[in-house]
Amino acid sequence: MAEETKKEERSLNFLEEIIEEDLKNGKYKSIVTRFPPEPNGYLHMGHATSICLNFGLAQKYGGYTNLRFDDTNPVTEETEYVESIKEDIKWLGFQWENEHYASDYFDELYQFAVSLIKKGLAYVDDLTAEEIAEMKGTPTEPGKDSPYRNRKVEENLDLFERMKKGDFPDGTHTLRAKIDMAHTNMLMRDPLLYRIKHASHHQTGDKWCIYPMYDFAHGQSDSIENVTHSICTMEFVPHRELYDWLIEKLEIYPSHQYEFARRNLSYTVMSKRKLLQLVNEKYVDGWDDPRMPTISGMRRRGYTPESIRDFCDRVGIAKRENLTDLGLLEFCVREHLNKVALRRMVVFDPLKVVLTNYNEQPGETEMLTSENNPEEETATHRDIPFGKELYIEREDFMENPPKKFFRLAPGKMVRLKSAYIIRCDEVIKDANGHITELHCSYIPESQSGNDTSGISVKGTLHWVSLKHAITAELRLYDRLFKVEDPSKEEGDFKEYINPGSLQTIKAVYAEPALKNAKFDERYQFLRKGYFTLDKDSSTSGMIFNRTVTLKDSWKAGDSKAN
RNA sequence: UGCCUUGUAGUAUAAUGGUAGUACGACAGAUUCUGGCUCUGUAUGUCAGGGUUCGAAUCCUUGCAAGGCAACCA
């Protein structure tokens, strides 16, 4: 009875344990989570973790997830970001139940504030930002009460209403909770609830000139939406005490906050501030530069939503600080792409091969066939033209090869993928000793699928017919930073940018089947890596982004070292 | 020198008082018409000391280390 649901017993993470406990003891019948981005930037891998967590948990336990824009600061937030955030979530494969904005609740929030004032739990302060900071004390010293702390309820009500009406300029008044200026938790030292900002809001326009602070909006919005499990990152742990205090004093639906450690990825940076710098100072091409850890960047790079979700699953969550290996993400990308990418042959750095014993009839082309993907259950194929003159990869030939070099060398044989076995007979060089072409002979009986030659070779090379090759531009991406954790290094993080993070090859030679490349297809250029068509492609030329290289267990160093 | 959080192979994450496991990575091998995929094997770990217990990664205690907290940001 119990065995049908559990394919394999995966252990629960700490949030799943909490939720299962809550469900089991009847605290909730189903759960509600939320994804609460602030619309002031693009989503990145860290957000993807949160999205997978929040939507994944709700899915697993039969609840739902709201998308809620945490838009309480009109001066930094824009509609442009709202759209990109929604697009990114959908692309990742998730659908929210309701689309909300913290700004939808401004009226209710205002009423909450009024009720707090009436209970004598909030007051209008006339102190300046500097004075408030000064009187806040330090983590080791208590703060001092504001001289306005004990105003009468009526006076507070009147002042707060006038704040709302626009009677005061920015920064002259704030609404603060009346808690304890000597509290060991700095956030409980009469935190600000409302501030005056005569600024136009992307949703509410000029209706308001006072805006609630995060602490007076987030938990309250959770409560209004009956969010059961409000999941955020560890830096909000100290906020939980205030989160609970406000809900208790307001006597509203008790949402609960749980914290997990944000995910860090090696060889990149994740803070909005740093990513913004990379964009503004032109270290990258924009928010969707394929080297960026943004969702749009990863999408353009060719990462699939499946692989990102798989990555988030495999990494899991916990509460300790972490730096996850970028290699794991790349593994997930390769694993998925291996299953879905169409195989194509592309020569990056051509070396001409002439098959001296191959007879070519004018006007006739021998067509060979090759599978699109050996992983497919039912194989599909494409045709590839063969010819007397071919290109192979220059690095696939060595005049004086080391012992374990399985590729082409004078007198040695290799197979051309899906074609014939060839033998290198002669190396042709120019006056400078530079190799210009190879003269080879092919074994007619060795044709792929009809091989009666009895010859077995160790190496197989990719190739293209010189006459039929089409050209394309390639953008080879590598990790953005040279060091594992740029933000932990001395000095400016930008000093650690990998100068070789983008290498462009203007013209490579590809088999003609690549002419029909589509934006939503993924390709494996045989023995080279996974690629996808870039949006910069035009009718005049195709441009491919390298998503990730193939795993390469052949140590070039073994041979090149000497 | 206050409060909060966290310390398990290189990395990430399990074990919830009872055999320290899994994945990625590394290394070795098999297989291969991609030096890919797949398969097999190997190495590497509980921050330190003390205590409770038949038994501690787990509970207690003292240290140590890392991170967070003093924005009218979220």
ipTM of the modeled complex: 0.96
How is A454-484 classified by DSSP, letter by letter? ----S-EE-EEETTT-EEEEEEEE--SBSSS
Cα separation of A218 and A38, whole Å? Answer: 11
- Look at residue A553 and tell me whether its pLDDT is greater than 60: yes
Selection from A556, A555, A514, A511 nearest residue A531 by Cα? A514
pLDDT of A191 reads: 98
Separation in Å: B33 C1' and A327 CA: 29
Task: Return the number of other C-beta atoms located less than 10 Å from residue A93's C-beta.
Answer: 14
In degrees rounded to 5, what are phi and psi of residue A85? -65, -45
Question: What is A151-185 written as a DSSP string?
Answer: --HHHHHHHHHHHHHT-S-TTS-EEEE-S-TT-SS
Mean pLDDT, rounded, for A137-159: 96
Indicate the pairing of strand A350-355 with strand A389-393. antiparallel
Given strand A210-212, what is the order of strands in its sheet? A122-125, A174-177, A192-196, A210-212
What kind of fold does domain A106-214 have according to CATH? Glutamyl-tRNA Synthetase; domain 3 (3.90.800)
Cβ count within 10 A of residue A161:
14
- Fold assignment, A470-548: Ribosomal Protein L25; Chain P (2.40.240)
Number of H helices, E strands in chain A: 13, 25
- Domain span(s) for CATH 3.90.800.10 in chain A: 106-214
| Residues of each domain in chain A carrying CATH 3.40.50.620 | 14-101+218-331
Q: Enumerate the CATH 2.40.240.10 domain ranges in chain A, comma separated.
A: 346-462, 470-548
> What CA–CA distance (Å, rounded) separates A543 from A474?
6
CB atoms within 10 A of CB A140: 6
| Distance of A21 CA from B53 C1′ (whole Å) | 29
Q: Which nucleotide is nearest to A315 (CA to C1')?
A: B12
Give residue-wise pLDDT tens across range A431-454: 999 999 999 999 999 999 999 999
Instruction: Answer whether residue A34 shows pLDDT above 60.
Output: yes
CB A301 within 8 A of CB A545: yes
Rounded, the Å distance between the CA of A555 and C1' of B42 is 20
Q: Fold for domain A346-462?
A: Ribosomal Protein L25; Chain P (2.40.240)
- The whole-angstrom separation of Cα A248 and Cα A254 is 8
Q: Which CATH class is domain A14-101+218-331?
A: alpha beta
Within 7 Å of a protein beta carbon, the nucleotides of strand B are 1-8, 10-16, 21, 23-25, 27, 33-38, 66-74
- Residue A188: name the closest of A243, A146, A227 by CA: A243
Residue nearest to nucleotide B66 (CA to C1'): A321
pLDDT over 90 at A415, yes or no = yes
d(CA A90, CA A70): 19
Task: Return the sign of the alpha-carbon dihedral for residues A546, A397, A351, A444.
Answer: negative
Least confident of A260-264, A273-277, A463-467, A551-555: A551-555
Q: What is the mean pLDDT of residues A369-379?
A: 95
Euclidean distance between CA atoms A289 and A224, whole angstroms: 38
Scanning every strand, the nucleotide with its C1' closest to A414's CA turns out to be B33
Catalytic residues of A: 38, 262, 272
The 3-state DSSP class for residue A230 equals strand
| C-alpha distances out from residue A373 to A127, A262, A302, A344, A376, Å | 69, 37, 18, 9, 6
**Residue A543 near residue A471 (C-beta atoms within 8 A):** no
Measured CA to C1', the nucleotide nearest A11 is B14
Q: Give the global pTM.
A: 0.94
Q: How far is the CA of A235 from the C1' of B61 (A)?
A: 28
The pLDDT, as a whole number, for residue A560 is 36
| A413, pLDDT greater than 60 | yes
Would you state the structure tokens that stand for residue A430, as one six-digit string? 């120019």
